[in-house]
Amino acid sequence: MVSEKISAFIEASGTLMTGGSVDVVVARYRENVAANEKRLTAT
C-alpha cells in the first residue's frame, strides 16, 4: 500500500513538472481509486 502511494506521488509529480494540470492528476487518481475499488470488491 505504501508503494502504491509512492508510485502515485511520483506519477503526479512528473505530470505537474512536465506542464500537466491538476485536473489531469485528479482524473488519473480517480481512475486508480476506481480500479482499486473494483479489484478489492471482486468476488
The domain in which residue 37 lies consists of 2-41
Structure confidence at residue 17 (pLDDT): 98
In contact, 29 and 8? CB cutoff 8 Å: yes
- Compute CA distances 41 → 3, 10, 17, 38, whole Å: 21, 26, 34, 5
Number of folded domains that form the chain = 1
In eight-state DSSP terms, residue 41 is H
Total residues belonging to the chain: 43
pLDDT digits (tens, 9 = 90+) for 1-43: 799 889 999 999 999 999 999 999 999 999 989 998 999 998 7
